[in-house]
Amino acid sequence: MKIKFFQGLFVKAVLVLSLISIVPVLFIGYRIMRTNSRLLTNELLQKQQVIAVQLASTVRNALTIKEQLLAEFADLHTDFGSYPLISQEDLDYLRLRHPSLFYVAVFSAKGKKIFDTGTSPKSGDYSQVLQQMQQTCLDGNKFVSDVFFEGDIPFIWLAVPLHRKANDPTVTGVLASALYVEDISKSLLQAYPLDMDAVLVSRHRDILSYNGAPGGLTSSDTNQLSQALREIDEQLMGNDNGEVSLVSKDNVLVSIARVPGVDWRIYVFQAASLPLQLFMEGIFHSSLWDVVWVAGMMFLFVGVVSYLVIIPITRPLERLRAAAVRLRENDDFVLNRQDIEIPHNEIGELASVFVDMTETLHKRRQELIHTQDELAHMNQALEKRVEDRTRELKQATKDLVKAERLAAIGQMASIISHEIRNPLAVISNATRLIKTLVRSTDQKVTKQFNIIEAEIRQANSIISEVLGYARTREMILSAIEVNSYVRELLLSFPAAPGITLKADLSEESVRVKVDAEEIKQAIRNLITNAVEAMPTGGTVTVGTRVGKELVCIYVSDTGPGVSEEIRHKIFSPFFTTKARGTGLGLAVVRKAITRHKGKLFIKSELGKGSCFQIYLKIYRRIGDTSYGEAS
């Protein structure tokens, strides 16, 4: 049977070499990608840190402008200023010119409110913050409070000390103002980056400004953003930058900067996948020729190795296989060393042994033929007696030829098994190693690995089947109860799609003394043969019938049946009608039954199915103390 090209050893070896060549390239490329990605990540984090510091400076400048506004206003209303002391009209004018100061008040040194203008915040108790403001300003310092909310609108308190005379350290009062943070956040609109997210938060992690909101304001729902900021703080643990994995399964690069003078923070972040995207764009836009060059070198490597290593292995094996097929089909064929290529390696040793074996077989056959000729001459003289002796000798000759063939097949099978199973084991181990190193999620790669492993198992199965037929071991006889034995065998047989497997056991059960494993293999081969004869589905029946001295174990199917011509060849070794198979399945069955001195018959009708019957001698009936063999 000719081996298909894509099932041959050459194609499989080339595929394995290709995978072995690709793996190091992919590993090195992966390491380079990881290194460049880390470098790009560090550069992006540095860039984000610079932007965060710039945004923090912008906020600080906006606060400083408001502080300077109040300080200059206070300095203008000293004894040495251009205006008299602060009055109600001055406060009204100040609030009118600067609407962001929605409430302005003047307090005495003892904390008593003298006069104010605007709408005082009503959403909370500010007594504590006013005390802190009073104490800070009496010490001669400016005051900036934490963020408060008037409804949903954030604001802060600003305060500066009042002096009656310029350059007089004595504080005579406090000028305080409530300022909407919206005015400060507007100063960030021009400074916000376009390709990153930036957030301004207060001491209590309230979101004051976000460039993802309309106009940079926080009127939109910020629950998800607040959750993300909490996750960032928990994972960075006080660091100013790093990579963070959010619950939303988004990885981001984060940089944090603190606003000087207040406990506010600026968070700048963007997707962590950006470095990988930049790296991949660089590969496909600037390094395409490098990729083509590497791929070309890999293909060149595989081609050279295939020519120097694989072809010298597969070519002698193919010639050896063709010679074996010719020897099987033609008993008179004489194999010469010139007919096959004999390299100086292990395969060459195998070929030499095979040639010597065929020469020996041919010589012995010639000797047997010569003996038959001599016996034929003797038959002419001895008439009937010589004719009878001739038939006996012919039968002995056939048995001897068969024994010699089996011995030769066994020797050849052992050699081939040793020489082929070792490379198969190396390929199998290499496949497992590559599969462990790659861990690819690509379905095509996984499918190719599965094909390699399945073909290795198929090759080992064929070798085992040939060895099982060629080798003969000592039988281990034991008494088994037939019905229970058949039931256990059916339970252990794997289910096949569309096949119904049923038992039809005799009411009477008996024991037989057999090699349990050898008979089990024979029955399993019959069941397998029946299943394969019905590719579209059907019924396989395994049953028993008990006679006086013999028990029959039969396997029947509802398949297409066996023709008369094939029926005479079906038990011959290496005869098969299947696309893939060794033709040893039924030969193994016949060998097992013959070794047990049993009988094997086949009944078949085209279109209605076949029935294989095994007859074995009864050893003991259930409940009977007499045995079916001499003690």
Residue 209 has pLDDT above 70, yes or no: yes
Is the domain of 455 the same as that of 326?
yes
- 438 shares its domain with 576: no
Average pLDDT score over residue span 153-168: 83
- Does pLDDT of 630 surpass 50? no
Give the DSSP H/E element, type plus range, for residue 176.
Answer: strand 173-180
Closest CA to 19 of 290, 300, 302: 302
Domain-terminating residue out of 470, 492, 507: 470
| CATH code of the domain in which 483 resides | 3.30.565.10
- Examine the domain organization and report whether 447 and 481 are in the same domain: no
Looking at residue 545, its pLDDT comes to 92
Cβ neighbours of residue 244 under 8 Å, at least 6 residues apart? 231, 232, 235, 236, 251, 252, 253, 254, 269
Q: Which domain range does residue 502 map to?
A: 477-621
Same domain, 447 and 487: no
DSSP assigned state of 215 = G
CA distance 407 to 423: 25
DSSP label of 119 = P
Asked if the model's pLDDT at residue 89 lies above 70, the reply is: yes
Percent of the chain at pLDDT exceeding 90: 5
509 and 547 assigned to the same domain? yes
The answer to whether 190 touches 183, Cβ cutoff 8 Å, is: no
Q: How many CB atoms lie within 10 A of CB 156?
A: 23
- Does residue 552 surpass a pLDDT of 90? yes
Same domain, residue pair 488 and 446: no
Task: Give the residue among 204, 269, 235 at the shortest CA–CA distance from 55.
Answer: 269
Asked if residue 252 is part of any domain, the answer here is: no
Q: Which of 130-144, 341-355, 469-483, 573-587 has the lowest mean pLDDT?
A: 573-587
C-alpha distances in Å from residue 519, one per residue of 223, 255, 299, 471: 74, 76, 52, 16
Band (pLDDT 50/70/90 cuts) for residue 16 is: low
| Same domain membership, residue 553 and residue 487 | yes
One domain, residues 496 and 423: no
